[in-house]
Structures are given as structure tokens and as C-alpha cells.
Amino acid sequence: MKVFCGRANPTTGAMEWLEEDENYDYHQEIARSCYADMLNDKDRNTKYFQGIRAAVSRVKERGEKAIVLDIGTGTGLLSMMAVTAGADFCYGIEVFKPMANTAVKIVEKNGFAGKIKIINKHSTEVTVGSDGDMESRANILITELFDTELIGEGALPSYEHAHKHLVQEGCEAVPHRATIYAQLVESKRMWSWNKLSPIHIQAEGVQKAIVFPPEMDVCPGAPSVCDIQLNQVPTCDFVPLSEVVPMFSIDFSKPVSRASASYTVKLKPVKVGKAQVVLSWWDIDMDPAGSIKCSLAPYWVQNTFGESPPWRDHWMQCVYFLPNEEPVTQGQSMDLTAFHDDYSVWFKLQKTTHQMKPVCVCQAHLLWNRPRFGELNDWDRTLCYFQALKKVLKPNGVCLSISDGSLLPVLAHHLGAEKVQSCPIYNISVSVPSNTLMIFMANGLEDKITILEKPPELLTPSDFEERKISLLIAEPFFSTSLLPWHNLFFWYARTALESHLTSDVTVLPQSASLHLMTVEFKDLWRIRSPCGTCEGFDMRIMDDMIKNSLDFRESREAEPHPLWEYPCRSTSDPLTVLTFDFQQAIPEHPLTEEGIISVSRCAKSHGAVLWMEYHLAPNVSISTGLVQDSNEKDYCQWTPHCKQAVYFFSSALEPNSPVAVASAVAYAVSFNPATGEVNMDFKPLI
């Protein structure tokens, strides 16, 4: 059966109705899931298995049958661990039907069909009794309902219901408890992801500043957690102002409440500074004694004797921004309060009963993500645009800026542009792009820069007072973009404005180029690695399921990843594959490039990375990808403000493998002007 799905094309801007198979959502869910990552997380799996064995043993020592409830069973792995450990029976609950069906197959494949019952329901809908889903209450509760924030996947409501209706009083629980930790830090880098700082420029011999409205300065920011691979943040990027402290614990073997709560810890500052950010993570004890522990603590906390902490992508660490930075004096104690509701956690640096979650009041945090804030705070990047504008600015002409929430109109005005107009493009329905207007007003430019509240294709000569555009500028940045080439929306906007441009119009950026390079990932490859066997259980059905989902479309697609968080080394030289000339309208025919990449370095190639570079003006370019290539000691450096596109090869290429020697990769990359899609194909040459 086919269904039609509507979506806004992020590159062309057009609304499209795509004919998809009825199982499209299912395939997307599986292809983008973290199942492979979790199944390949040896530390997680080993600790769970140890905790389950210990729990079953404690129940057996009391002379009881071990009846297990596994909430969120997924593949059925933890249920199979329980039966292997000696449990008499296990109920595995999985609400996602395709996953529940797969769990049934995996359980049968491993010979546990008579001991494990998979229930395709949400745990809060499960019933107990002779005619219910479970014959009796369980005395062992196993769960893996945790996300980076611990409670973001609904762990608290699920535990609350389970203790009331599904498990015995005094049951064993695996994990037994969880503890959330926090550390107060000052970090210019991380703070730049949440607050905008004034920008000082020298224009026409005068020092000028671009400032931001008070609403943005006092805004607490987005309510959602900022989850990152904190192990990739160097210690030089932050200053610890306190020791690591446990904020609160949850005992899963006892009744759990979903009610909102707060916990206050008195901190003794270890340094003078500005309190800006709370770094947070959790650990789980698999047994009551705490002898089996799975920890997410970053490298500067864990004493691993030179070894890296276990890598995982399904659980990371949390960055919480305080509502406002506050001075910290060494020796003067402070109260750090952690709050939580059903699904989220937040912090404040004072003892208070006011538990309201931070909510953005300036709209900027709703329109821009954290990397965008970092991008706008990047002085080196702003300087490139400033220098490029100085080279191409035509003071007596009409300047039009097309980007989301860009500072380019302000820069153009300060450089002496006579008439500046801004055409912001947003992915939400607003009558006025208020945060852009707020920035103009804060700089006294509301009467000097005109905001055009129309999409480019609907602009008319009257919008430009019957004049032609002589300078068309963009970063380009659009909030709808996910993959690097989605910002080519600017090219479509430029084409729609063709009749409004002067014959000698200057376009900034002049052009863009798409680059690629093959890489060996330190860890990211694990999210696409085969599951095979896990703790002795046959999980190959899961491999087939993921492969079928990835192959669901006619061609495999690149995925967006922020590679500054995922170390990799290059296995080939960077290569320019496509060039887009913004001085000209979009061509009618596809742009294509085929060639061969020499894999010249003796390492595994897990895939290809693609990124864009924008050529603003002669000798001035901006990269959304590679900043510095890798060498013998260091990994590649990537711009932290953008996600790069990663195309995973179906299997890693190993130049020195006795099975298959791949010294080169054939590639074919094409840009389809009709759809705005970049299609690619890679084949190893053996």
C-alpha cells in the first residue's frame, strides 16, 4: 500500500507530496535507531548481564521463583540474559510493533520461546491476572528506559505504574539505582551556544558595535537539554568552579514518583569565575551494593589509567545553561538546585522553591539551534563576511540579504550601503520575524533596514521601489537545513529574483563547492557495525532488519553528524566534486562528477564525509567542514557550527586486508536542480 507524505523541500523550498510505502515510518525509525550502537556497547551489556545474574541469584537464594518483567525490551536481549541467568519466566514489553515482532523472532531463534513472552503494549496498558497479559506480578524488574538526561524517555511514569500494578513489593531491580551528578563551570565556548555577545567592528574609520536586545540577554534559553559527547571537549574550553557533586538518586527497587521535585546541594567553589554552565551526567548501579556500575562520567572524572571511557552514542552527557551568569567567589558557598518533572531536568544557582522550567522569551532560541548561536558568536567567521562585504559593496545600490536571522544587513549598513533590505526565511508561522526586528531595533536600524515579509518568489518591483538589486548577499544559513547542501536554497531564491537583479549584480557568496574525503572513524562506525552475536546471543536478525531499512530507498543516503564530536582520520586527500555558480541562475540540467579517490593511507575507510565551502569574494571563503586535516598524532578538525554529511560504506575498506585490498574508491556525485537533491554512489576498486 502506498501513502502520500507532504514535506517542505529544504533545498528548493517547495512543498512536495511524496509517494511512500506504508512502512516508510517504520523503516526510518529502524534505520535511524541506536539499536546497533546499544548492541555493540560491550560495557553496557556486560554490566547488565552481571546485574541480572546477581538479581536472579538473590531471588533464588530466598527460595522463590524468578519472574522477570523487562520494560522496553527492544530486541529481547535483556530478557534472554535473564532466562540464561536462571529466571523461570520473563515478560518482555515493547510498545513499538515492528520491534516487538523482531524480538519474537530473535527470542525464537535463540531457543527461548517457551520462557519469554513478548507483549506489544505500553507498560502502562499491561494487565495482570488469569486473563491478563501477565499471570502474576514479577519479582525482578529490568528496564532500559534511559536517555542522556536519564528520565527523558518516560522512565519515571513507567516505574511509578510498574510498582503500583506489575511488580511485587520489595522486588529486585536492574538497575538498582541511578545517580545524577553535576559540576559548575565557566566556559566561554559553551556559553556562546546560549547567549550572543556584542560584536565590535571598525567601519569607515569609526569603531562600531553590533549589540543584541535586552530580551535576548535575559532570556534563559531553550528548555531542552544540550546533549553532546563531552569527552570531545578539551579541558582548556572550560574552568571547573566546583567539584563534581551528586545531585540526587532514584532507587528503582522501591516505589517511584513521577511528581516534580527539587534537590539542593551546597557547593564550595574551588575557583573564582563566572558560573555559566552546569555539566551533568549519571551512573547506574546494577546491584544494591553498587559494585556493578555503569558510568557516563567524562574523561576528567573517571580514573581509567590512561584508557578512554567507554564510547556510546545512545547515552551522552548534558550541558545545562544557567538562566544568567553569576559571579563565584572562592570560599563563599553557593546553593545549586536541580529540578525535574516527568521528563526533564534543569538547574538554578540559588535555593528556591520556584520550579518553573526555563522557557525562551526572545524567540531566538526557538528559531536557532545552539550551533547557530556559536556561529553568530564566532568573530573569525564574522570578520570573513565583513572583509568580503568591503570588497564588493556598492554604496549607491540596493542590497538584499537572504538568510535566517543574519547579521549581514547590519554589516552592510555599517559599511555604507545606501539601501539595505532583509528577506528572512523561517520554518515557523510568524507575522513578523520578530527576533530579526529586535536586533535591528537594538542597533537603531529599524528605519534603515527594511524587512520584506514575503518569500523571494513573491517579491515584486514595488518591494524595491522599482529599483533593481545590485548586491545580493547571504551567509547562507536557513533553519530548515540539515545536510550541508540544503543551504543551496539561496541559489533557488537567487534564481527566483532574476528579474529583480541588475545586469551586473554582485552575489555574495559568488559560488560554493562540495567537497568529500574518505575517513576512518575512531568510534562513530559502531552505529552501523553488524550486531552478529551479543553476549553469546544470535542477533543477526537485527542486522538484516537494519540493512533492509537502510536499503529501503533506491539509494543509501548521507546522514548529518557534528564531526567535532566524533574523531576521525582522513584516508584520502580532500577532493572538490561539484561547483555551484551563484552568479548564474540554476541550470536546467543536473551537475554530475565521477572519478576515483585514491585511498593512500593505511587505515580502514568507514565512509565518506561531504561538506560545503562558500566562496564569498576573491580570496575569502567559509568552510562548513574540514578545518585541518589529520596527521600522525591528531584527528581531523571540523567546524563546530555545522553538521557534516556522512555516507557510510556498506563495509569498511581495508587496504591491507588479505581478503580484499581496496586502494581506491570510485565515486559518482550529482546535483539534481529539479529536486535539489545530491545523490551519490561509492564503489571500492579491488
Give CA–CA dist 558/563, Å, rounded.
13
Looking at the predicted structure, is the pLDDT value of residue 654 above 90? Answer: no
Give CA–CA dist 270/251, Å, rounded.
31
Tens digits of residue pLDDT in 167-207: 999 999 999 999 999 999 999 999 999 999 999 988 777 88
- Rounded to the nearest integer, the mean pLDDT of the chain is 90
Looking at the predicted structure, is the pLDDT value of residue 394 above 90? Answer: no
3-state secondary structure of 62: coil
Looking at the predicted structure, is the pLDDT value of residue 159 above 70? Answer: yes
Return the exposure string of 417-438: e unless at least 16 CB atoms fall within 10 Å of the residue's CB, then b: bebbbbbbbbeeeeeebbbbbb
CB-CB contact of 501 with 468 (8 Å): yes
**Using 50, 70 and 90 to split pLDDT, how confident is the model at 427?**
very low
Higher pLDDT: 242 or 540? It is 242
Looking at the predicted structure, is the pLDDT value of residue 342 above 80? Answer: yes
Question: Which residues, in sequence order, are CB contacts of 83 under 8 Å at separation 6+?
Answer: 68, 90, 112, 115, 116
Give CA–CA dist 255/261, Å, rounded.
15
pLDDT for the residue numbered 304 = 57
pLDDT for the residue numbered 547 = 67
658: number of CA atoms within 13 Å, CB side? Answer: 0
Q: Assign 3-state DSSP to the chain and report helix, strand, coil percentages, each to 5.
A: 25, 35, 40
pTM of the model: 0.93
Give CA–CA dist 43/302, Å, rounded.
14
Looking at the predicted structure, is the pLDDT value of residue 78 above 60? Answer: yes
Q: What percent of the chain has pLDDT over 70?
A: 90
pLDDT for the residue numbered 395 = 81
Looking at the predicted structure, is the pLDDT value of residue 4 above 80? Answer: no
Tens digits of residue pLDDT in 505-530: 999 999 999 999 999 999 999 988 88
pLDDT for the residue numbered 430 = 44
3-state secondary structure of 476: coil
Q: What percent of the chain has pLDDT over 90?
A: 74
Cell reading at 462 = 514595488
Over residues 640-646, mean pLDDT = 97
Question: Which residues, in sequence order, are CB contacts of 70 under 8 Å at separation 6+?
Answer: 76, 78, 79, 82, 90, 91, 92, 93, 142, 143
Looking at the predicted structure, is the pLDDT value of residue 680 above 80? Answer: yes
Give CA–CA dist 89/582, Å, rounded.
65
Local structure of residue 614 (DSSP, 8 states) = E
**Using 50, 70 and 90 to split pLDDT, how confident is the model at 548?**
low
CB-CB contact of 414 with 203 (8 Å): yes
pLDDT for the residue numbered 432 = 43
Local structure of residue 542 (DSSP, 8 states) = H
CB-CB contact of 142 with 159 (8 Å): no
For residue 434, report the phi and psi dihedrals to the nearest 5 degrees.
-65, -35
Q: At what angle do helices 97-109 and 77-84 cross, to 10 degrees?
A: 30
Looking at the predicted structure, is the pLDDT value of residue 22 above 60? Answer: no
Of the listed 94, 144, 559, 677, which one is catalytic? 144
Cell reading at 103 = 524480538
Domains of the chain: 2-32 (no CATH), 34-144 (3.40.50.150), 179-200+212-364 (2.70.160.11), 378-508 (3.40.50.150), 511-685 (2.70.160.11)
**Using 50, 70 and 90 to split pLDDT, how confident is the model at 26?**
low
Over residues 349-355, mean pLDDT = 67
Tens digits of residue pLDDT in 448-478: 999 998 899 999 999 999 999 999 999 999 9
Tens digits of residue pLDDT in 81-93: 999 999 999 999 9
Looking at the predicted structure, is the pLDDT value of residue 5 above 60? Answer: no
Question: Which residues, in sequence order, are CB contacts of 517 under 8 Å at separation 6+?
Answer: 570, 572, 573, 574, 575, 608, 609, 626
Categorise residue 614: left if φ over 0, alpha if ψ from -120 to 50, beta otherwise.
Answer: beta
The strand pair at 398-401 and 317-328 is best described as: unpaired
For residue 495, report the phi and psi dihedrals to the nearest 5 degrees.
-65, -40
Unique residue bearing C-alpha cell 581478503:
659
Q: What is the DSSP string of 376-441?
A: HT-HHHHHHHHHHHHHH--TTSEEEE-SSS-SHHHHHHHTT-SEEEE----SS--SS-HHHHHHHH
Peptide bond into 175 cis (omega under 30): yes
3-state secondary structure of 49: helix
pLDDT for the residue numbered 433 = 54
3-state SS track over 304-339: CCCCCCCCCCCCCEEEEEEEEEEEECCCCCEEEEEE
Is 557 catalytic? The answer is no
Of the listed 29, 108, 153, 557, which one is catalytic? 153
Tens digits of residue pLDDT in 256-311: 999 999 999 999 999 999 999 999 999 999 999 999 999 999 999 986 556 778 99
Looking at the predicted structure, is the pLDDT value of residue 415 above 80? Answer: yes
Is 446 catalytic? The answer is no
pLDDT for the residue numbered 460 = 95
Nearest to 226 by CA among 369, 325, 341, 338: 369
